[in-house]
């Protein structure tokens, strides 16, 4: 994986492809490449490193072509280098491909191809595809048929695009488990792994589904299955704008997205609170609400930051809806043969809606007959299309690899779902109104926290050289401790651990000294006195303490080295507020270390491989 863009039409494709790759840089990658047909000959140029290096290499080559494909790679098989970068070519350079995903049986396929005389130049699983397709062309099949035949032998996932100099008027693309979208224009068409790559050229798109092959010319598009069955596809209008995926004057996308959270939370709430009735209105759940309310159990399945949101959701649903709730790593759910019943409801949370592990878990649950529901940010994504029903977060495009605004919007949606179920089951009108009013007040409270940005930056200066951090919280704020630690790890490369505060004395307290900062999430709730005791334990061992506390808490300042004061709200909503200072702290520490916060090393925005 990571980014795919292709063009066929009357224009020179080279600047279109390069600009498309730049739009995909936010996804994280280690190398880049471009393949074009020029004067009926194929030309592939690729390198380790950034798209700007690729652009520099080709700017004086006078490359002009009406058809081409380009790729940014996030390494799975083989180290990041020029040989392993995409596109990959056949022996005579007439055929080349770009590929996202993992070919699980590539060793078997590679052995067979080696026996046929094929040579391999890279360490990748992807190179198997180009030689496999080539072998079917050599048997007399056209490009489309050769791609179909090859994919019938493949086990694994793929989003791929193929060009062949013998049929220079087309791009053949295919998808299984890795997103691909076809962009439709006038006398030109596009292929991409993300609409952002082609947004400046068209807003008319077609989403490919698993097992589909697209044949794209400058004037036509048609879809077939890998078994050659014709498919009618629906054209979608993209409402996303270029302004939404620009930095808007901020130095980094991550800071922009942190600062956008008052508005993104409002967008997540817009039209969804019915204050007079003390409930929420979620159109995506209308058809399944009775089944959801009567579920014997709710399972929340996700990865990374979305998993942390799921942990908060577990607290919300069990406290207010009284439905037993479990939270599962999607990457483990599928492989442990989970006990899933038809009376279960399973929530799948994913910012991109393309997370491979979550998608695989969804397919497993669907097969077992459970009610499957999605909580996604990206409209038209795979999880959104495959679930029975669900709720969009409406956070807008999140470009920074480290998720921020998507997390808070996921928490808002989980709160709205909890309110909806609780009011249908056991919550009174008075309590429902009170909860609804607290939810509506959250955006203004986030705005007040963001005004502390300068103070948080000063704290970051104090701790930018720390080698380890400990994040501690109780109840609803234990998942926030995990999320705060994850943010710091992701973008500053500082080791950090999140723990339930009470568990500190069962091991982690051994690490405490003057060189290991401890961050306590300590709002005034029913666990406050216990948290103060935990702070005392760290203080007694010389630890340096940062506390996230309420605005009216003056006593805590006597115990800690630094405090960040935030507004009060009810316990279930407190994670939406307590996480904001932790996002800013991680951001400023990473910036002060001179790191690329939008594209942290080794990470990809949308993890489309298992």
Q: Which of the residues are catalytic? A: 2, 605
Distance from C-alpha of 517 to C-alpha of 519, rounded to nearest angstrom:
7
Distance CA 157, CA 24 (A): 20
Structure tokens at 390: 């669900």
CB-based contact 455:562 (threshold 8 Å)? no
> What's the number of CA atoms in the CB half-sphere (13 Å) around residue 325?
22
Query: Distance between CA 256 and CA 248 in Å, rounded?
Result: 7
Nearest partner of 302 among 368, 264, 256, 359, judged by Cα = 359
Kind of pairing, strands 297-302 and 325-329? Answer: parallel
Q: Report the b/e string of 399-409 with b at 16+ CB within 10 A.
A: bbbbbbbbbbb
Neighbours of 355 (CB within 10 A): 29
From the list 202, 205, 204, 199, the residue with the least C-alpha distance to 244 is 199
Q: The tokens 């690899």 sit on which residue? A: 401
- With tokens 């698993």, the residue in question is 210
Q: Is 137 left (phi over 0), alpha (psi -120 to 50) or beta?
A: alpha
How far apart are the C-alpha atoms of 586 and 571, rounded to whole Å? 24
* Cβ neighbours for 522, distance < 8 A, ≥ 6 positions apart: 528, 531, 532, 535, 547, 548, 549, 553, 556
Task: Tell me the C-alpha distance between 98 and 470, whole Å.
Answer: 42
Q: Give the C-alpha separation, 371 to 373, whole Å.
A: 7
Enter the tokens of residue 503. 């568990």
User: Rounded distance, CA 257 to CA 268, Å?
Assistant: 14
CA–CA distance, 122 with 284 (Å, rounded to integer): 46
Q: How many other CB atoms are there within 10 angstroms of residue 426's CB atom?
A: 11
- Could you list the beta-strand ranges (E) of 414-566: 468-473, 495-500, 518-522, 545-550, 562-566
- The 3-class SS string of 128-141 reads HHHHHHHHHHHCCC
């Amino acid at each position: 994986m990571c980014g795919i863009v292709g063009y066929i039409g009357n224009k020179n494709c080279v600047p279109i492809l390069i600009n498309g790759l730049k739009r995909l840089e936010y996804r994280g990658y280690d190398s880049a490449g471009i393949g074009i047909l020029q004067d009926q000959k194929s030309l592939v140029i690729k390198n380790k490193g950034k798209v700007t290096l690729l652009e520099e290499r080709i700017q004086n080559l006078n490359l002009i072509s009406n058809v081409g494909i380009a790729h940014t790679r996030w390494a799975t098989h083989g180290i990041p280098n020029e040989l392993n970068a995409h596109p990959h070519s056949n022996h005579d350079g007439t055929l080349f491909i770009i590929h996202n995903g993992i070919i699980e049986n590539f060793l078997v396929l590679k052995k067979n191809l080696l026996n046929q005389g094929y040579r391999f130049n890279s360490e990748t699983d992807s190179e198997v595809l180009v030689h496999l397709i080539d072998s079917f062309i050599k048997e007399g099949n056209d490009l489309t048929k050769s791609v179909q035949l090859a994919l019938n032998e493949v086990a694994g996932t793929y989003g791929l695009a193929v060009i062949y100099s013998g049929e220079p008027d087309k791009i053949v693309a295919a998808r299984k488990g890795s997103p691909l979208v076809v962009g439709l224009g006038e006398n030109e068409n596009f292929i991409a792994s993300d609409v952002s790559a082609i947004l400046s050229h068209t807003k008319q798109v077609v989403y490919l589904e698993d097992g589909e092959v697209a044949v794209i010319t400058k004037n036509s598009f048609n879809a077939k299955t890998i078994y050659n069955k014709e498919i009618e596809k629906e054209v979608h209008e993209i409402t996303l704008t270029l302004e939404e995926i620009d930095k808007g004057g901020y130095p980094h996308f991550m800071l922009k997205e942190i600062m956008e959270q008052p508005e993104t939370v409002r967008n997540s709430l817009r039209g969804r609170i019915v204050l007079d009735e003390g409930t929420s209105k979620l159109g995506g759940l209308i058809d399944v609400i009775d089944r959801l309310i009567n579920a014997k159990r709710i399972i929340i399945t996700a990865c990374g930051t979305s998993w942390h949101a799921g942990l908060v959701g577990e607290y919300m649903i069990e406290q207010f809806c009284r439905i037993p709730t479990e939270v599962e790593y999607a990457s483990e759910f599928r492989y442990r043969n989970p006990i899933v019943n038809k009376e279960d409801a399973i929530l799948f949370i994913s910012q991109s809606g393309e997370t491979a592990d979550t998608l695989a878990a969804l397919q497993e649950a669907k097969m077992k007959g459970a009610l499957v529901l999605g909580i996604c940010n990206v409209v038209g994504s795979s999880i959104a299309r495959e679930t029975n029903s669900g709720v969009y977060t409406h956070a807008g495009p999140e470009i920074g690899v480290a998720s921020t605004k998507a997390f808070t919007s996921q928490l808002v949606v989980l709160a709205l779902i909890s309110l909806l179920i609780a009011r249908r089951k056991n919550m009174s009108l008075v309590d429902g109104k009170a909860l609804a009013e607290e939810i509506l007040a959250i955006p203004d409270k986030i705005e007040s926290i963001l005004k502390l940005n300068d103070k948080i930056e000063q704290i970051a200066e104090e701790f930018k050289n720390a080698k380890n951090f400990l994040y501690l919280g109780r109840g609803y704020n234990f998942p926030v401790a995990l999320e705060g630690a994850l943010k710091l790890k992701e973008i500053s490369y500082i080791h950090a651990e999140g723990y339930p505060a009470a568990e500190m004395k069962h091991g982690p307290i051994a690490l405490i000294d003057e060189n290991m900062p401890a961050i306590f999430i300590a709002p005034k709730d029913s666990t406050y006195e216990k948290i103060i005791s935990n702070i005392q334990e760290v203080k007694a061992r010389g630890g340096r303490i940062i506390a996230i506390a309420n605005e009216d808490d003056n006593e805590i300042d006597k115990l800690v080295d630094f405090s960040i004061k935030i507004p009060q709200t009810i316990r279930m909503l407190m994670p939406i507020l307590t996480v904001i200072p932790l996002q800013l702290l991680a951001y400023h520490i990473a910036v002060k270390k001179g790191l690329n916060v939008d594209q942290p090393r080794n990470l990809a925005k949308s993890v489309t491989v298992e």
